[in-house]
Amino acid sequence: MVTKKVLLRMERIDKKFPGVHALNQIDLDLYAGEVHILLGENGAGKSTLMKILSGSLERDSGNIWIDGKEVGDLDPEHSKSLGIGMVYQELSLCPNLSVAENIFLGNLPKTKIGAVDWEKLNKMAKESLVSLNVSIDPRMLVRNLEVAEQQLTEIARVINRQSKILLLDEPTSALSDAERDRLFELIRLLQSKGVGIIYISHRLNEIKMIGTRVTVMRDGKVVDTIPVEKTDENQLIQKMVGRKLNEQYPKIHTKIGDKILEIKNLSSENKFKNVNFQLHSGEILGIFGLMGAGQTELARSIFGLDSKMSGEVLIDGCVLTKHNPNDSIRHGLGMLTRDRREGLVPMLEVPQNVTLAIRSQESFGQIIKLRTEKEFANKFVNSLQINPPIINRKVVFFSGGNQQKIILSRWLCCESKVLIFDEPTRGIDVAGKADVFRLMSQLANEGIGIVMISSEIPEIIAMADRILVMRRGEIVTEFQQSVTQEDLLCAASEF
């Protein structure tokens, strides 16, 4: 139920970073009980605006009212005390604490003598995870969780605080459809209690599912605020990117060549078993599964990030024996992991990040020239439209989607024969996705074999030549390109 009670009003919010006018006189308001979608290209300023509300960034100027009362400077504690809760895009959990400790951090239940009441803590954490339909052991250390599980833990933590204003910055970017649906149920429940939610996502289909109003931002400015029922995806894309988008999935139909990667009887305890498949030069092979089906673990093992496995990985007929990433890269295998934070070196600038994988291919004494490094960086800044197009900038200062493009570039400039992409377009805006797919198509056309893991069904169907479906750690079906969304989901589900 949406009432017209204004929970939050922001007026003329302004924020500059060196060289970037991130927020330029932003006005935005939020009603009690509404889900206000914030939409915009990578780097438009969405996260910056939310961080100002959560107190983790200071605004240069502008006014904020909550419940009609003007609030002055916001720091994280003040923001929390005003009832604002935020799920960050680049999650903010403490990796060395347990799931339960993270959920109740700052509010741990105590025994009579003042020690942490672990039993009660774990029980409370379990309950809040169950309300999200999540079966994570609350005693697990966060660093041992998959990204999706971390995302769910972070959501549980914020929902637990009973905030009246909830800021969700791409909360579903790592979730499966089923987990997203469960989150949406919870959001609807909160809405009915009058909580106001600002929701950021690059998944346009979610707008109609959950949104009340949508505000489109471009280059740090608000373009428009519209009730969801008065707009559609095409109009929103146009407002967002300032032009019509020609093709969402630029797939080139390539001649499929010889076998280039072969996986033989690959098993890893509790994660996947007896996996066999082949990939050919020029082929894009999709792997689809619900969360926990083993696709990410399989990919990581193939690349050598997890050495506890049995079976064989062959590239061009040559068996990889060492099972470590450096050796894989030397044999021409590259991998973009699901969690981009794993691969980026935040305090290095773009060129060094882009050429990191080439460095591990170097033989001793051979050093990449600074000039070549910059050339690579500039090439991808152009072809993937990395924004702002400034290469001598530490990657930590780029927006989430632009960081994803930077790490993707690393594998595009490497001379790989086989590339494994785990959720390549995570956090990338709609125009950027088309750029990524265009590059993937070009790579395949040049003879590279690509394994593409994606939970976005339309993109995997449009881009893959063949799709393997995984369920409970096993490959259960193989589809050719003509598969429908329903067939894929059905094959991946447990019923």
Residue 22 near ligand ATP by CB under 6 A: yes
Residue 20 near ligand ATP by CB under 6 A: yes
> Least separation, in Å, of the C-beta of 400 and Mg ion?
4
> By the criterion CB under 5 A, which residues form the site for Mg ion?
47, 89, 399-400
Residue 376 near ligand ATP by CB under 6 A: no
> Least separation, in Å, of the C-beta of 171 and Mg ion?
12
Instruction: Report which of 150, 162, 147, 50 is spatially closest to residue 94, judged by C-alpha positions.
Output: 150
> Judged by CB, which is closer to ligand ATP: 183, or 217?
217
Kindly list the strands in the beta sheet with 418-422, ordered across the sheet, starting from the edge strand earlier in the chain.
333-336, 418-422, 449-453, 284-288, 466-471, 474-480
Q: Which of 33, 43, 282, 286 binds ligand ATP (CB under 6 A)?
A: 43
Tokens at 379, concatenated: 């090439």
> Judged by CB, which is closer to Mg ion: 292, or 400?
400
Distances from the Cα of 333 to the Cα of 267, 329, 358, 393, 425, angstroms: 19, 5, 12, 28, 20
> Judged by CB, which is closer to ligand ATP: 40, or 332?
40
Burial of residue 29 (CB within 10 Å: 0-12, 13-18, 19+) is: middle
Select from Mg ion, ligand ATP, none the partner in contact with residue 488, using the beta carbon and a kind-dependent cut-off of 5 to 8 Å: none
Select from ligand ATP, Mg ion, none the partner in contact with residue 42, using the beta carbon and a kind-dependent cut-off of 5 to 8 Å: ligand ATP
Instruction: Report which of 155, 161, 195 is spatially closest to residue 175, judged by C-alpha positions.
Output: 155
Q: How many residues bind ligand ATP (CB under 6 A)?
A: 20
Residue 24 near ligand ATP by CB under 6 A: no
Q: How far is Cα 71 from Cα 365, in angstroms, rounded to an integer? A: 58
Contacts with ligand ATP, 414-453, as mask; x by CB under 6 A = ---------------x------------------------
> Judged by CB, which is closer to Mg ion: 57, or 141?
57
Q: Which of 47, 150, 151, 215 binds ligand ATP (CB under 6 A)?
A: 47
> Least separation, in Å, of the C-beta of 361 and ligand ATP?
29
Give 349's strand partners. Answer: 394
Q: How far is Cα 133 from Cα 159, in angstroms, rounded to an integer? A: 14
Give 227's strand partners. Answer: 213
Burial of residue 306 (CB within 10 Å: 0-12, 13-18, 19+) is: middle
Distances from the Cα of 404 to the Cα of 34, 245, 421, 457, angstroms: 30, 21, 12, 20
> Least separation, in Å, of the C-beta of 262 and ligand ATP?
37
Give 71's strand partners. Answer: 64
Select from ligand ATP, Mg ion, none the partner in contact with residue 44, using the beta carbon and a kind-dependent cut-off of 5 to 8 Å: ligand ATP
> Least separation, in Å, of the C-beta of 26 and ligand ATP?
11
Residue 40 near ligand ATP by CB under 6 A: yes
CB 424 within 8 A of CB 452: yes
> Which residue stretch of 38-46, 149-157, 346-354, 457-465 sits at the interface with ligand ATP (rule: CB under 6 A)?
38-46
Residue 44 near ligand ATP by CB under 6 A: yes
> Least separation, in Å, of the C-beta of 309 and ligand ATP?
34
Tokens at 206, concatenated: 């979610």
Select from Mg ion, ligand ATP, none the partner in contact with residue 397, using the beta carbon and a kind-dependent cut-off of 5 to 8 Å: ligand ATP
> Judged by CB, which is closer to Mg ion: 98, or 404?
404
Sign of CA dihedral 235, 241, 246, 252: negative
Backbone angles phi, psi at 193, to 5 degrees: -95, 5
Q: How far is Cα 485 from Cα 270, in angstroms, rounded to an integer? A: 28
Select from ligand ATP, Mg ion, none the partner in contact with residue 402, using the beta carbon and a kind-dependent cut-off of 5 to 8 Å: ligand ATP
Tokens at 394, concatenated: 């530490």
CB 306 within 8 A of CB 268: yes
> Which residue stretch of 14-22, 127-135, 411-419, 467-475 sits at the interface with ligand ATP (rule: CB under 6 A)?
14-22
Distance of CA 187 to the CA centre of its chain: 20
Q: Where along the sequence are the contacts to ligand ATP (CB under 6 A)? A: 17, 20, 22, 40, 42-48, 89, 388, 397-402, 429
